[in-house]
Chain A
Amino acid sequence: MSRPFPILSRLLHWTMALLILAMLFIGVAMVSSLSDYHRLVAIHRPLGILLLVLVAVRLINRLLSPPPPLPAAMPAVLRLAAQASHWLLYALMFAVPVVGWAMLSAAGYPIQLVGAVYLPPILPHDRALYAVLRPAHTVLAFLLFATFLAHLGAALTHALVFKDGVFRSMVK
């Protein structure tokens, strides 16, 4: 049976899992709400930047302490799906907040985190950039949600159907 993930890896995983799921729900609630829009945006912005910091820490941690190997018996196609979906998750965990920051920059908004703490723009104020980045933020977030659902389904399949220790290595 494979060894468990190191404690720091598990902590980062479950913290980010909760925050990302909350963030995706806040995002769709926010853009469809007139009454709570402002309140939710005020949470969405700093939480997104926190997630960007966390995924950077997580990538470094992953490179320093690599995840346990997948079971030797796992077929090549499942192995490939597992590896590809993990790199897709990482790519999206970076891309969604970076595109969010970039689109606010291109829109010319001041980028407030909390109180008097603001982020600098990372792009010039430019309508054409905003017109591309704003829908891109939504599309990437939906892709992240779809990838999360696939990841959840796969994790539960490892836990309940394959019973191969892969799920346990993250909960141990």
Chain B
Amino acid sequence: MPPPPEGALIVTLTSADGRVTAVDARLTRPPVDRLLVGQPLATALARVPRLFTVCAAAQAAAAAGAVEAALGHSPDSETRAARARAVAIEAAENHAWYLLVAWPRHLGRPPDIAGLARLRKIARAAAASGERADLGALGEALRQGAAGPEAPWYKRGGAAPSTPGKGLGPLHPFDLRREAIGVLCGQLDAGLLPEADGGTVSTSRGRLTHTVALGADLTPTVWHIDAPTDRHFAPNGPFVQALLGQPLGPDSRDEAEALILAYDPCVSWQLYLTFLPPKAGGMRTSLPFAPLPL
């Protein structure tokens, strides 16, 4: 059976003497860049949002910004503002998906479909009007979703996001997301939405960057996409570093799964735990666990 068409994440934790001694996170991706390199610019730019429907606005804005940077062009203020609005609204919707659907299901509770539908309706209105009041209403709806008792930070004793503009200091992904939601809510309230920095935009999972190089005929010769999931689960990335050396036993499945979900990979995933005997050279016991039924 080939890997899932959208890609997959396979995580294997190896434990010896009760601690994690190795973390192998393998992320498979379809070679999307090959659909963009060598294409006429207009074709490549049109393909990006069609390839990534869930985060189409962010992908399109990052792609356009990267191409403009390669061309040495700067979009006008109206274009920059429209992209920023679309990216922020999409980020709010995706945060809401995480808060109201993904995380409750991890806890074994029913997702708040009605809440998500309400927020999406507000998001559509904000996208259509672009009015500050509608953006503020979206910020308030997201703030309410983040303040619900199912929010992941409540499991860790944290408070709901309230203070925008603080730095993203804490490293736990829950803290990062809570801070990011707080910042986004404040930006929506104020109607001051961050514009793309070249090919870099902010998404609900983190920074997304497109890097494009153009040939003499202006067709792309390089099109690299650096997505949050790639960084989070990189060989020396934060997920691996967070687990190395941590206590791990046969009962740690929930914690390991929760950490994967905290990093919110954008592909389906599987977790395997391997326990090595105390002395090297002995038998291994591999315990595969099913992916989360989100």
Same assembly: no
